[in-house]
Structure 1
């Protein structure tokens, strides 16, 4: 695997392009630039397209800001692992089961080659995963959790016209949605209900459908809603699988510095021969905005690189993977996901259409 330079990851690239670090020190001024003075409309000299672009820029900044405050965590998923996760079913998984490794993190999914729309649309580079939670009871035993997914790529360059039709111009457009679980509030204490991913997807589409401008005509609404529904359908399973994989006890995650570190700081790190000197070198890197990237599933070969042996005329076929819950902890009170990986049925009789299974 050829690792990408640290500055090439979307959060770092967008921050450098728009000077987010500098704007973070003058946040109110940047908000005024994007939206105009508090309580006032956009400056009158701006066209609708310019207003949409500035509002979207603010949404980019807010996602980056949350990610920055949570420690700039990047998880870079390998192509081989993404291929295996794409063959894993999550339809029965409840969103209440998901636990994030950090309150905000970034999943780099660029290896998957997914696109935002048709074959000519921009690539999906990754997704900010941002969590909000509030206690459901006074003791805080249960939390009302929302997992916001904000996908990245050159969205606004091709889809600004979509945001022109939405009331929330500062929203991410059709390339964002939220995973919400149901809450039962009928009893004396509210509690979280099992909420399968399929129900979450339907709720996301319904929510998006309420966000159109009043003057948006029906054909336009239908076309944009179809973009959103298709986008969610093509991304939600993979993202949920990625989050479950990061919860899996046997996950393969290897933190390391990406290429592209400043030469003088990289040299100090390389020459650090004691624990103390290494700590100082790493602190200097962190102060300069460089953190380790968590490389996920690097040992999983892409299907195209796996050896195939054909021993018969009957084609083998894939059996999809899935997740099951395992009780663990004191009194078996906690649950964690266990991955039953995709496998090939009758693999000795032929070659599977999409390659051979690889043991993670």
Structure 2
């Protein structure tokens, strides 16, 4: 059975010898372009501008396949997300099917600051669900809706007075006298059910955050307002809105530390086996398998309760119970400390309230204090 279609984007784009050689050639080219740069301190937008300035023939190649300069720049930037991921040894995290289902029934409170929207690593890839069962989609103009597969996340922190901040002098969206946190995102849509394994959907989006107390909802609304009427993204904003919202809930959940993480080190284990082999034929066989293997950490809820129907239960006590209803989960800010002067984020799981179901649920809310 060919599992290529179900591999996450960072793995899928290198899952054959030919693809791997192409990637290595592209990485060497970008290494030359970015020589002397600290990749970690460079946003995707800055890296894109650097390529366009120093190697215009690369941009021209993308321009020939796109209708506008804007779209050509975006197409170029999509290659830089995976490049930065590889060069910074990015981690892959996978949300369990149960967690994704729980978060779909969860809302972000009106008071949660965007300062809490932080990835667990500077560069990582979050794979949504273990078997491509997400109900959300990423849009591609040619092949339309794709199952939401995952998102590349790259976080860059730039301080005033640094050489990195000088790049943004004159920028209409950056105040160079204040700290700047850039969150670069690229959502990927699965080729599962599409024409071929390279038929995917990519959607990039950046957040330039300088006021950490603006709420997440305000930031998400700002993106929708800014790009909703953009001709280059016609018909795309509804998909972007939903995927941004889901990504935000996953990051908040991870930062609340209310999860169980299970590591699967399949790639590391296979490398060990390859190193112990002697025969060239066996080594090549396992190296081919290695291209479709990856290490990941699966994130799932700590206290997941499966609610079952009470059909057949004898309510002989004739006690009138509260009407059973579903309460959505939510993230909210909780006052704490001297005089309730501080705030920390809490996650309240979605749950059934009232009736016999209520007896099956006990809250065990844990939280992570802001750094």
- Fold conserved (TM > 0.5)? yes
Q: Is the 8 A contact 1:322 1:341 kept in 2?
A: yes
Q: 1:178 maps to which residue?
A: 206
| 2:348 maps to 1:308 | no
Q: 1:123 maps to which residue?
A: 147
Using the TM superposition, give the Cα deviation of residue 148 of structure 1 relative to its aligned residue in structure 2, in angstroms: 2.1
Q: Is the 8 A contact 1:74 1:107 kept in 2?
A: yes
Using the TM superposition, give the Cα deviation of residue 290 of structure 1 relative to its aligned residue in structure 2, in angstroms: 7.2
Q: Is the 8 A contact 2:95 2:300 kept in 1?
A: yes
Q: For 1:147, which of 183, 203, 220 is the aligned residue?
A: 183
SS at 2:13 equivalent: helix
The separation in 1 between residues aligned to 2:218 and 2:235, in whole angstroms, is: 17
Using the TM superposition, give the Cα deviation of residue 153 of structure 1 relative to its aligned residue in structure 2, in angstroms: 1.9
Q: 1:132 maps to which residue?
A: 156
Q: 1:101 maps to which residue?
A: 120
Q: 1:74 maps to which residue?
A: 92
Q: Deviations over 1:98-149 (max 9, x none)?
A: 23211111110134232225996111100111112222589xxx73212222
Q: 1:237 maps to which residue?
A: 245
Q: Is the 8 A contact 1:78 1:300 kept in 2?
A: no
Q: Is the 8 A contact 1:344 1:357 kept in 2?
A: no
Question: In the superposition, relative to structure 1, how do residues 123 and 226 fare at CA in structure 2: closer, same or farther (>3 Å)?
Answer: same
| 2:103 maps to 1:85 | yes
The separation in 1 between residues aligned to 2:259 and 2:107, in whole angstroms, is: 18
Q: Which runs of 5+ in 1 are unaligned?
A: 159-171, 184-191, 214-223, 270-286, 351-355
The separation in 1 between residues aligned to 2:305 and 2:204, in whole angstroms, is: 28
Using the TM superposition, give the Cα deviation of residue 67 of structure 1 relative to its aligned residue in structure 2, in angstroms: 1.6
Q: Deviations over 1:172-224 (max 9, x none)?
A: 97x3323444x4xxxxxxxx3521222112221233257547xxxxxxxxxx4
SS at 1:122 equivalent: strand
Q: Is the 8 A contact 1:316 1:344 kept in 2?
A: yes
The separation in 1 between residues aligned to 2:337 and 2:95, in whole angstroms, is: 29
1:1-360 equivalences under 5 Å are 8-16=7-15, 18-19=19-20, 20-27=23-30, 38-39=55-56, 42=60, 46=64, 48=66, 58-92=76-110, 93-109=112-128, 110-117=132-139, 121-136=145-160, 143-153=179-189, 175-181=203-209, 183=210, 192-208=211-227, 212=231, 224-228=233-237, 230-258=238-266, 263=270, 265-266=272-273, 292-297=295-300, 307-310=308-311, 316-325=324-333, 336-348=344-356
Q: Is the 8 A contact 1:105 1:129 kept in 2?
A: yes
The separation in 1 between residues aligned to 2:293 and 2:139, in whole angstroms, is: 33
The separation in 1 between residues aligned to 2:252 and 2:347, in whole angstroms, is: 8
SS at 1:76 equivalent: strand
SS at 1:252 equivalent: strand
Alignment RMSD (CA, Å): 5.0
The separation in 2 between residues aligned to 1:302 and 1:21, in whole angstroms, is: 46
Question: In the superposition, relative to structure 1, how do residues 147 and 236 fare at CA in structure 2: closer, same or farther (>3 Å)?
Answer: same
The separation in 1 between residues aligned to 2:293 and 2:159, in whole angstroms, is: 34
More strand by share: 2
Q: How many residues end up aligned between the 2 structures?
A: 296
The separation in 1 between residues aligned to 2:362 and 2:205, in whole angstroms, is: 32
Q: Is the 8 A contact 1:86 1:237 kept in 2?
A: no
Q: TM-score, normalised by structure 1?
A: 0.63
Question: In the superposition, relative to structure 1, how do residues 327 and 300 fare at CA in structure 2: closer, same or farther (>3 Å)?
Answer: closer
Question: In the superposition, relative to structure 1, how do residues 116 and 238 fare at CA in structure 2: closer, same or farther (>3 Å)?
Answer: same
SS at 2:156 equivalent: strand
Question: In the superposition, relative to structure 1, how do residues 54 and 91 fare at CA in structure 2: closer, same or farther (>3 Å)?
Answer: same
